[in-house]
Chains A and B, each alone.
Chain A
Amino acid sequence: MTIAPFRLLAALLLAPTLAVAASPITITAAWARATPPGVTTAAAYLSVTNDGATDRLLGAVSPAARQVLLHSEVEEHGMQHMRQLESVEVPAHGTVEFAPGQMHLMLVDIAVPLAPDTTIEVTLRFEKAGELTIDVPVRDGRVPPENHHH
C-alpha cells in the first residue's frame, strides 16, 4: 500500500512519454513456439484483453523475424488453410485469443532459431491504443503447458 503514491507519481510523470501505461489493452498468456532444426518460421500466441472501446490490431513486428503476419487457421471441408488477416478487431471489454490451431502471429524468416526459455520482443500495433511492446517467452512446443515450469 505504501508504494501506491509512488506509483501514482510515476504514472503521472511517465504518462506523456509512455502511452502504454494508460492503454486499455492487456496482453496475457503470450508464448512463441521454439523452432525445430532448420525451420525459419514460428507461431506466437497470446490473449488480447481490451478494457476500453473497440480497437483493432493492425499488425506486429519483431526484431526476431523479418516479418510478422496475422494469420487465422481456417478449416473448410477437412482442408486446412492459413489465411492472412489485414487486422483483427478487439471488441470493447472483450478478449481475443491467438491460440494453437486458431489465430496466431506467424513469424517469417527467423534469423536466429528460437530456443526454449528465451524471450523475443514483439511490438503490436493497435489502431487506437498505439504500439505495445511485449516480451514473449519461447516454449518447447513438444512439452505440454501443464508440465512446463513457467
Chain B
Amino acid sequence: MRRWLIVIAATTAALIGGVVGRQYWQTEPVPKIGGYVLPSPRALPPVALVDEQGRAFGPADFAGHWSFLYFGYTYCPDVCPLTLVELANLKKALAEQLPDTPTDYYLVSVDPARDTPERLREYVTYFDAGFHGLTGSLDDLKSLTQQTGSVFFIPEGQPDDAYLVSHSSNIALVDPAGHLAAVFTSPHAPKQLAADFAHIVAYRTRR
C-alpha cells in the first residue's frame, strides 16, 4: 500500500513537473520579426535540386549552417536584382554582427527552362562571390515553395522566349538542421533582416 502511494506520488509529481516545465519552456513567445517564426521548425520536402555548379542538391545539403532562400529568376529585371543586392548587404552586415554564425544565401530559380546552373552561377556570383543558385523540376520547385511559405506561377499567354514569372517576395530561413525556421515578408531591408535573424538565433539558442 505504502509502496503504491509512493509510486502514485512520484508519478503525480513527475506529471506536474512535466506540465509546469513544459509550460515554462513554452512561455517564451517566438520573436516578432518582419514575417513569422515557426514555433516548431518544419522539415523540407525531399526535393531533388541542382546547384549552380550542376551538382545534385537535396534538403540535407542545407545542414550545418543557416540558409536564406529567395525564389526568383534571372530574367526578372527589377525586384530580383533589388532583393539580391539586399541579400548581399545582409551578408556583409551579418559577417560583422554574427561572425561565428555561418550563413549561406540561395537564389532558387522558379524558371528552370531558362535558368541553367551555368546561367545561375554567372548571375548569383555577380551579386556576391559566395552566393548560390538552385533550381529543379517544376514539381520539386512547387513542393519546396509550398513548404516554405512561398508560391510561383507562369501566367499563360506569354511569348515562349520572353515570359515573366509571378513569384513570392518572401525570403525563407532554413536552420542548421535543414528545417524551415522563419519566413521574412517584404519589404526587405538588410538592417531589419539582420536584427530579426539575430533574434531568431538567440531564441533558438535558448530553447
Question: A interface vs B, CB < 8 Å?
Answer: 33, 36-43, 67, 71, 73, 75, 78-82, 100-101, 104, 106-109, 141-142
Contacts and interface: CB of A to CB of B under 8 A. Distances in A.
Interface size class of B (residues with CB under 8 A): 20 to 34
13 contacts: A33-B81, A38-B123, A40-B75, A42-B77, A43-B81, A78-B170, A78-B186, A79-B167, A82-B76, A101-B82, A106-B77, A109-B162, A141-B82
A79 B77 contact: no
A141 B81 contact: yes
Interface in B74-119: 74-79, 81-82, 85, 88, 119
Interface of B: 74-79, 81-82, 85, 88, 119, 122-123, 126-127, 150-151, 162, 164, 166-170, 185-187
A81 B77 CA distance: 12
Main secondary structure of the interface of A (DSSP, over half): strand
B167 A75 contact: no
Closest 8 CB pairs of A and B: A36-B126, A43-B77, A43-B78, A41-B77, A37-B122, A80-B169, A81-B166, A38-B122
B119 A38 contact: yes
Contact of B78 (A39, A67, A73, A78): A73
Contacts of A109: 162
